Structure 1
Amino acid sequence: MPSALPDGDPAPADGALPPSVADGAAARGFGVYVHVPFCAVRCGYCDFNTYTALELGGGADQSAYAATASGEVALAARVLGGAGAAGRPAATVFFGGGTPTLLPHADLARLLTAVRDAFGLAAGAEVTTEANPDSVSPHSLAALAEAGFTRVSFGMQSAVPHVLATLDRTHDPARVPQAVAWARDAGLGVSLDLIYGTPGESLADWTTSVDAALECEPDHVSAYALVVEEGTKLAVRVRRGEVPVPDDDDLADKYEAADERFAAAGLGWYEVSNWARTPADRCRHNVGYWRGDDWWGVGPGAHSHVGGVRWWNVRHPRAYADRLAAGLSPAAGRETLDAGQRDAEAVLLGVRLADGLPLDRLPAHGRQAVAGLVADGLVAGPAALGADGQGRRVVLTRSGRLLADAVVRALVD
């Protein structure tokens, strides 16, 4: 089952937000995340809030989802207007899951239209959908582009059959370049998502996958280390001794190998786990998360953040649909961050970016820790000294990216 929601305070039945969220709103970006919780097969490593048709039984089916989620989009417009935080068009819209492209392309277009009608889309808005390579066709991708989508992120994960089998991925590796070509023909930007550290994956397997991804000439690549999440089928297999736990040294070797290959192919890192061909190819929606912008998360289990207030929806699609049908907010709980928490999060997220975190965003003890981090080779010395003409900043070295959590602890503890 998907992981539990966090603890928090009760959320108002109408979803109302405090007027304080309007403070400084004009200076913050605004995006919309749409969670589509459906998967054809539940992968053994995944603890996202996703469901197969069999898990959902006779209710909360995919055919009704576009109408249900559009109801939350309308609720979002009312709530933000009531809090004085409306008036900002969505600069980014991101459809994630699950597998959003299991929905008919007309339903995805309907949901995007609901967002456009509720908030408007900023000029040049980035509109992304995640997709499995075997969940799209030339026709569906062309229809999404016509509806206003600008980008597709394919869950490639690996190019090696035995690795895909361990991950319970169902697509044929040969389908990835085909799907990328279809997306290109439709005029869509392309990102590929990879996972490294799967039990049984050798370094040669991993570099095979990286090279296969680069042969597709994507605009963007994400590469994440496999995490064995409690409650997943993979965690059960690890506990039984059927497969080994991912090894930290192995993960580091694979990260370094990927970073070298991406750089040689002209893809620069801009966040610890993300590389883009040009700054314009960065995933602007995710950058909004790392910069502490505002976003409304639509869908069961989706999380939102506006002006220091964070909330999360009920998890199950049936409970989600029932609450909206009753005229209630689907929010299950929320929390309001104080100034100290917001500052700590700004460091936690901002230090992961290649653009760096200005030293004046750090507490006094954090600024004092920078010299030691430079000496340890974890933070770039020229950036910390402002020698690159961009102001004094914390910028991680490659070694620092491998130990990003330790760097953050040194800066905020």
Structure 2
Amino acid sequence: MIDLSPFLARVSDDPLTLAFEEEKKVMPSLARMRPQMPQWEGGTFAEFAPEAFMARPESPLALYVHVPYCHHHCTFCPFYINQTKKDWSQAYARLLLKEIADTAHVLRDVIHKREVNVVYFGGGTPSDLEKDDLAAVIRSLRETFRFAADAEVTVEGRTTGFTPEKGQAWAAAGANRFSLGVQSANTRLRKKLGRLSSREQVGETLNGLCDSGATVVIDLLYGLPGQDVPLLLDDIRYLSEETPVHGLDLYELRRFPDSPLDKAINRGKMPPIPELADKARMFGAAYQRLADYGFEHFSPKHWRRDGKERSLYNRLARAQTDMIPFGSAGGGRLGAIGLGMARDIKTYTEMVEQGEKPLSRIAISPLAAEEGGFSYVLDESLEILRLPSLREWPASHQEAGEKLLAQWHEAGLILPQDDECGASLTCAGHFWSGRMKKLLLDLVAIPTAA
């Protein structure tokens, strides 16, 4: 008999804020986020890549291109590496083009045996690249690899410097999705975060990019220092009524130790991050307001106005799809082989110029969610905003699972269990979904009597 008491939710009239006690999360320091080089005895990229590339030939394939340059370091961001310098764009694009050609040469016997489903330009700030430089890289990828007819090609960026001319040029080259980190449309709050453009400039940029024909999506953060429910709802009103963006991603702010934001809060230069209950209320208010504006909640942190927005990269990344990395500080994987690119730009440059795949980290990292296992089933269900049907649970834990899910329904986290489809999450369930996932995995890990 499994003791369910550690897994139960609090039953109250406010499950959004009271279902569970706050769990003190300790985010990794920036230094710990930079993996150290492990021992690797599996050969060079040229030796293992062709076989690894064909290990899962029917699985989706992604290409990830990292651009580790930013105009300046925004206070909330833990991923800043290099500041943009004069003439950096052309030089970096030249390195990317050579790396693409060299990677294609290694994969020359197998490269056209798989279709590319997703390309993602992340950073850093890819939109800081000059118009013609990034267009050349997009075209090179399309000419080198075999793309699926409906492949999603995303360029990430910020509103400052992401001009309509860039959008038109990159769409013409083959990009079809632009993702912009707006974070907040409130000018005062944006300035505190280190964002340069005003609310009006944000709107002008988004409207101009939508004219390119590409899908345009934005990131919003909740739980920002000095943010409250009215500020967040006004952001949603502005972006919904005054821009034609196709999708919106809503993320909780994470406070990383030794980040500029963390230091500013510790020194009293910025107000503290809202408490958990306040963040829960922000999420609940945003959840309802997005529905009022006709946005469909189609995956855990993503909403859309129409089917143009698929958020395919995010979905495949969570599913641990094969992903070939390009660019300094990028990351990816081929099957169970994790790939980390040289973070130091000097090292990256030297390795590319020598014709090497500029990897600083190669590691065996078994898939965390083996297909068919409960972790995999749980991730698949959460992706469509549900918990798995009890029939998909391990037989040894179905009785305990039935009791726990009934209690979570009583606590207001899920709707009644459907034998075929599982249980849909309520608004409170979506807010607490990360905690619920952890609890379910801990539950099924408890051994039971034979």
Task: Identify which of 1, 25, 32 aligns with 2:57.
Answer: 25
Letter in 2 for 1:61: W
Query: In the alignment, what sits opposite 1:328?
Result: 356
- Relative distance call for 1:281 and 1:273 in structure 2 (3 A) is same
Query: In the alignment, what sits opposite 1:40?
Result: 71
Letter in 2 for 1:104: E
Query: In the alignment, what sits opposite 1:5?
Result: 34
C-alpha separation between the residues in 2 aligned to 1:311 and 1:406? 29
Task: Identify which of 170, 178, 181 aligns with 1:155.
Answer: 181
C-alpha separation between the residues in 2 aligned to 1:154 and 1:165? 17
Structure with higher Rg: it is: 2
Query: In the alignment, what sits opposite 2:130?
Result: 104
C-alpha separation between the residues in 2 aligned to 1:298 and 1:330? 9
C-alpha separation between the residues in 1 aligned to 2:397 and 2:60? 27
Query: In the alignment, what sits opposite 2:256?
Result: 229
Deviations 1:64-120 (A, max 9, x none): 1112122332344345557x6762121121112122111111111111122112212
C-alpha separation between the residues in 2 aligned to 1:296 and 1:397? 37
Letter in 2 for 1:237: A
- Alignment of structure 1 residues 89-100 onto 2, 5 Å: 89-100=115-126
Task: Identify which of 261, 270, 281 aligns with 1:253.
Answer: 281
Shift of 1:355: 5.3
Indicate whether 1:412 and 2:412 are aligned: no
Task: Identify which of 294, 311, 318 aligns with 1:290.
Answer: 318
Letter in 2 for 1:350: E
Query: In the alignment, what sits opposite 1:316?
Result: 344
Letter in 1 for 2:421: R
C-alpha separation between the residues in 2 aligned to 1:363 and 1:86? 39
Indicate whether 1:262 and 2:290 are aligned: yes
SS class of match (1:62):
helix
- Relative distance call for 1:159 and 1:347 in structure 2 (3 A) is same
Deviations 1:316-338 (A, max 9, x none): 22221112112222222233233
- Relative distance call for 1:155 and 1:291 in structure 2 (3 A) is same
Letter in 1 for 2:54: A
How many residues were matched structurally?
402
- Alignment of structure 1 residues 143-222 onto 2, 5 Å: 143-215=169-241, 216-222=243-249
Letter in 2 for 1:308: A
Shift of 1:262: 1.1
- Relative distance call for 1:154 and 1:21 in structure 2 (3 A) is closer
- Relative distance call for 1:364 and 1:338 in structure 2 (3 A) is farther
Query: In the alignment, what sits opposite 1:113?
Result: 139
Letter in 2 for 1:404: S
SS class of match (1:135):
coil
C-alpha separation between the residues in 2 aligned to 1:21 and 1:173? 45
TM-score (norm 1): 0.87
The answer to whether the 8 A contact 2:300-2:385 is kept is no
Letter in 1 for 2:167: L
Deviations 1:240-297 (A, max 9, x none): 3443134211111111111111112121222221112234422111111123322122
Indicate whether 1:63 and 2:85 are aligned: no
- Relative distance call for 1:198 and 1:329 in structure 2 (3 A) is same
Letter in 1 for 2:437: V
Letter in 2 for 1:334: I
- Relative distance call for 1:327 and 1:258 in structure 2 (3 A) is same
Letter in 2 for 1:396: L
SS class of match (1:133):
coil
Structure 1 residues 249-258 or 308-317, which shifts more? 308-317
C-alpha separation between the residues in 2 aligned to 1:207 and 1:358? 32
- Relative distance call for 1:338 and 1:131 in structure 2 (3 A) is closer
Indicate whether 1:140 and 2:140 are aligned: no
The answer to whether the 8 A contact 2:228-2:282 is kept is no
Shift of 1:158: 0.9
Task: Identify which of 327, 336, 346 aligns with 2:376.
Answer: 346
Deviations 1:370-412 (A, max 9, x none): 4313531376445x423xxxx4346433222212222122222
Query: In the alignment, what sits opposite 1:77?
Result: 104
SS class of match (1:17):
helix
Identical columns (%): 25
Query: In the alignment, what sits opposite 2:81?
Result: 50
Deviations 1:131-180 (A, max 9, x none): 22221223222111211111211222112122112211111110122112
C-alpha separation between the residues in 2 aligned to 1:366 and 1:173? 51
C-alpha separation between the residues in 1 aligned to 2:358 and 2:374? 28
C-alpha separation between the residues in 2 aligned to 1:340 and 1:97? 25
Letter in 2 for 1:232: S
Structure 1 residues 346-355 or 92-101, which shifts more? 346-355
Indicate whether 1:397 and 2:426 are aligned: yes
- Relative distance call for 1:310 and 1:162 in structure 2 (3 A) is same
Query: In the alignment, what sits opposite 1:376?
Result: 408
C-alpha separation between the residues in 1 aligned to 2:291 and 2:396? 34
State the superposition RMSD in angstroms: 2.8
- Relative distance call for 1:322 and 1:409 in structure 2 (3 A) is same
Letter in 1 for 2:277: D
Any unmatched runs of 5+ in structure 2? 1-28, 443-450
Letter in 2 for 1:167: L
C-alpha separation between the residues in 2 aligned to 1:212 and 1:172? 13
Structure 1 residues 161-170 or 362-371, which shifts more? 362-371
- Alignment of structure 1 residues 268-279 onto 2, 5 Å: 268-279=296-307
SS class of match (1:143):
helix
